[in-house]
Structure 1
Amino acid sequence: MDKQASPNKLAAFFKKLGPGLITGASDDDPSGIATYSQAGAQFGLTTLWTSLLTFPLMAAVQGMCARIGLVTSQGLTVTLKMHYPRPVLYLMLLFSFPAITLNIGADIQGMGAVCHMIFPAIPVSVFCVLVTAIMMFIIIQYSYQKIAMILKWLCLSLLLYIIVPFMIKQDWAQVAKNTFIPTIQYNKDFFSIIVAILGTTISPYLFFWQTTMEAEDQQHNGKGIVVDKKILGDMKTDVNTGMLFSNMVMFFIILTAGSVLYPAGVREIDTVDQAAKALQPLAGKLTYLIFASGVLGTGLLAIPVLAGSQSYMLAETLGWSAGLDKKFAQAKPFYISIIVSLIVGLSLDFLGVSPIKALLYTAIAYGLTAPVMIVMIMHIGNNKKIMKEFTNSRLSNVLGALTLILMTAAAVAMIYFLF
């Protein structure tokens, strides 16, 4: 009986995983990998503690977004449009769109560069075009359910980053010390990387994606708009699992770069393929191939989320028919906006925009704009007119406020040291 119960419990657990797992996993995209690799290469193991800090903060904010999606049965953009002054919504879009477009471009470039590294005879630009074409085909051709299933399987690619550090000799006492005892350096470079880590981990586009996907998932599962304790409990399991997974991967990427690249004197990581290349002579070809394969898997996972979140925001603002379950003919403007965002992102490669600059500017832009979004999410989460009896718990409000304070303080410190 116990033997049968265990697989059944495991199956029931995996059935609960959906939007939260995909959102968490997509956060570790090629731009995130580059940021975490740069943190490890530049500062060794001294930023490992950030993963312990960001997990509860990320889980709290994404949990608020998920609850808003379940209770309102609509995206965050629609809620802002219905209940708040229009300038608030337009301000969110103004800050979010350039950062998301840069993020898409940086991820496409990162994937193209890694493919070129594995197959050097083919130029980076060819791979970039190929990646973009594959993304367009998948998003337009497949229904929401199929895309969600593909994305869930792609989450497995992140396990590669958990394996890598165990293939290298580690000083686990030093790892534990840097994980549980925070180290802070009072200079511009350190605060820039902290803002970049916070920005790439607690990203505004994930707020929009999580809210919309929870609403869509609710409709696809035939649960309607009735929210009860079981639905909220399943949502928490999904979100907490996704955010834990995301932060574990972040931890292991910083650990890999900090324990391999930093001691070897590699201090600058300009691209994700550079991070992989630097690993090859120091940690072996297998480690480098695993690292490179992870970049491709995470890119395929993250780009539909980035392009989709941007198009949902635009469609919900302008009142277009939107949804990944709709055919192209049923939601032409929605799908055209996805195609445009991918093409604009791709064009960054041909315009000669530096991938690492795009990545860092993206992460810093997220770090500067996220506090404003968190204020709005917390206000919505505590608004009884919108959320009825499902307003934020005290713990959610405390963690949300802490997220707001830390992200604001880090951004202010970075600006101070910058000027």
Structure 2
Amino acid sequence: MTLALLAYAATAFAVHLSWSDVLRGVLLPSMPDSSAWILVAAIFGTTISPYLFFWQASQEAEDARAKAKSLSTSEVSAGEERRISLDSWFGMFFSNLIAIFIIITTAATLHIAGITQIDTAAQAAEALRPLAGDFAFALFASGIIGTGLLAVPVLAGSAAYAVSETFGWRAGLGLAPRNAKAFYSVIASAGILGILVHFSPISPMQALLWSAVINGFVAAPL
């Protein structure tokens, strides 16, 4: 499913772009006005996400404890630290590369056409069709679906780890649901709330934006 994110890069190459202008904009960006700085905070909030703070850290600790039963502590530490370091560096590089392509694609299609208000993913995909054709629309749609399938369990799982650790509940995907009822209840509740947002007057895009802004501001103290 992670490969679906390459659809964003493919969309950028499917539309007409002046790559010299793109390179100039990436290397020498213009300073945004005051209202745009909130988007800068949101970008940091999506890069340094709760997934890294809670789920990844907790999952690594669970895996290390499981492997410690058959390996010495020094063997676990040396091998696991190398793997975690490689995993984190590669994951952050890939996610930021995709983020750049998302920004480029949005600028080259929606923004240049004056479309600056998007409330749903479907609306964004439809807006691309007359601008970039059916091929770009299909690529963007596959990217959105792949991102959703990845993001929903990640965000719900991160929330479950965060809440469980706050209240001292048993937590871990290696546990059976009957042994971690509160943990799995948070995952289920987060999924249900996400579905209910779709039927409410709340804009999913605005909800994502402001949750990212909050993440950006609380990252340092966390």
TM-score, scaled to structure 2: 0.89
The residue number in structure 1 matching 2:42 is: 196
Question: Does 2:171 align with 1:339?
Answer: no
After superposition, the CA RMSD in angstroms is 2.0
Task: Write the distance in 2 (CA, Å) between the matches of 1:311 and 1:335.
Answer: 7
1:255-334 → structure 2 map (5 Å cutoff): 255-334=104-183
Is 1:159 the equivalent of 2:159? no
Q: Secondary structure at the match of 1:356?
A: helix
SS of the aligned residue for 1:338 comes to: helix
Matched ranges for 1:80-95 at <5 A? none
Q: What is the SS of the residue equivalent to 2:96?
A: helix
- State the percentage of identical aligned residues: 42
CA distance in 2, matches of 1:266, 1:289: 19
CA distance in 2 between counterparts of 1:204 and 1:326 reads 21
**Partner amino acid, structure 2, of 1:313:** A
2:64 is the alignment partner of 1:218: yes
Q: Which residue identity is paired with 2:56? A: Q
Give deviations 1:19-46, integer Å, cap 9, x for gaps: xxxxxxxxxxxxxxxxxxxxxxxxxxxx
Cα distance in 2 for partners of 1:225, 1:317 equals 27
4+ residue runs over 3 A deviation: 219-230
Q: In 1, Cα distance between the equivalents of 2:136 and 2:63?
A: 37
- What is the alpha-carbon distance in structure 2 between the residues aligned to residue 224 and residue 338 of structure 1? 34
In structure 1, the partner of 2:54 is 208
Segments of structure 1 that go 5 or more residues without pairing to the other structure are 1-153, 374-419
Structure 1 residue aligned with 2:99:
250
Alignment of 1:37-52 (within 5 A): none
Contact 2:64/2:80, CA 8 A, preserved across alignment: no
> What is the SS of the residue equivalent to 1:263?
helix
Q: Tell me which residue corresponds to 2:198.
A: 349
Q: CA deviation at 1:266?
A: 2.0
Q: Which sections of structure 2, spanning at least 5 residues, go unmatched?
A: none
Is contact 2:59-2:172 (8 Å) kept? Answer: no
Cα distance in 2, alignment partners of residues 159 and 305 from structure 1: 19
Decide whether aligned partners of structure 1 residues 323 and 284 sit closer, same or farther in structure 2, where only a CA change above 3 A counts. same
1:235 to partner: Cα distance = 1.5
Deviation of residue 165 (structure 1)?
A: 0.9
In 1, distance between residues paired with 2:144 and 2:161? Answer: 25
- Give the Cα separation in 2 of the matches to 1:370 and 1:353: 25
Looking at structure 1, the residues matched to 62 and 39 of structure 2 have their Cα atoms a distance apart, in angstroms, of 35
1:218 and 1:224 in contact (8 A); partners too: no
1:288 and 1:323, CA in 2 relative to 1: closer, same or farther beyond 3 A?
Answer: same
How many residues in Structure 1 have an aligned counterpart in Structure 2? 219
TM-score norm. by structure 1 comes to 0.49
